[in-house]
């Protein structure tokens, strides 16, 4: 007869060897990160940041990544710059900018108000589109 202790140890070994179901939590649920992002490369004065899908604003921080759906707003006497590879987008004061689309092949920016200056350091095979405000400022 096999001692009870041996049977218990053997059963415990089987249970521990079984694959356990795991709950998927964290970044894997969100999906793959975007392949292309912008980076806040310069800040002067008061610049606010609103992540995609969020209603609240926070203070923009240097080197923060910006992607599709994110917004930046510069107050009076403030400036900011976004870098996307060889592309630099400079926001003047009182500028409200939305990154409408940012992919490997295209950049689409929505300008609600203010002034942008876009510089390309060298030729790229990407497409860019800047959407001007659709209604006059009130």
List the structure tokens of 3.
């001692």
Reported confidence tier of residue 53, pLDDT bands at 50, 70, 90: very high
Q: Count other Cβ atoms within 10 Å, centred on residue 102.
A: 21
Q: Domain of 65?
A: 35-131
Considering the entire predicted model, what is its pTM? 0.68
Domain membership flag for residue 15: no
Place of tokens 């179901």: 21
pLDDT digits (tens, 9 = 90+) for 3-28: 655 555 554 454 455 554 544 444 44
pLDDT digits (tens, 9 = 90+) for 59-90: 999 999 999 999 999 999 999 999 998 889 99
Domain membership flag for residue 10: no
Q: State the Cα–Cα distance between residues 72 and 89, nearest whole angstrom.
A: 12
Compute the average pLDDT of residues 100-124.
Answer: 85
Q: Which helix (H) or strand (E) holds 13?
A: helix 4-17
Domain membership flag for residue 78: yes
Domain membership flag for residue 97: yes
Question: For the residues of 76-132, what is the DSSP string, one character each?
Answer: TT-EEEEEETTEEEEE-TTEEEEEEEE-SSEEEEEEEES-EEEEESS--S-EEEEEP
Domain membership flag for residue 39: yes
Domain membership flag for residue 42: yes
Domain membership flag for residue 8: no
CA-CA-CA-CA torsion sign (42, 43, 44, 50):
positive
Domain membership flag for residue 51: yes
**DSSP code at position 21:** P
Reported confidence tier of residue 133, pLDDT bands at 50, 70, 90: low
Compute the average pLDDT of residues 100-112.
Answer: 88
- Cβ–Cβ < 8 Å for 131, 108: yes
Domain count, the chain: 1
């Amino acid at each position: 007869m096999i001692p009870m202790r041996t049977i218990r140890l053997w059963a415990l070994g089987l249970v521990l060897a079984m694959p356990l179901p795991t709950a998927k939590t964290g970044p894997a649920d969100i999906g793959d990160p975007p392949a292309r992002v912008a980076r806040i490369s310069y800040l002067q004065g008061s610049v606010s940041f609103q992540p995609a899908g969020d209603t609240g604003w926070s203070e923009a921080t240097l080197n923060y990544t910006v992607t599709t759906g994110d917004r930046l707003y510069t107050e009076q006497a403030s400036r900011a710059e976004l870098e996307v590879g060889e592309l630099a987008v400079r926001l003047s004061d009182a500028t409200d900018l939305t990154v409408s689309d940012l992919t490997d092949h295209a950049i689409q920016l929505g300008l609600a108000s203010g002034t942008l200056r876009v510089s390309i350091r060298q030729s790229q095979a990407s497409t860019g589109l800047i959407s001007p405000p659709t209604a006059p400022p009130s």
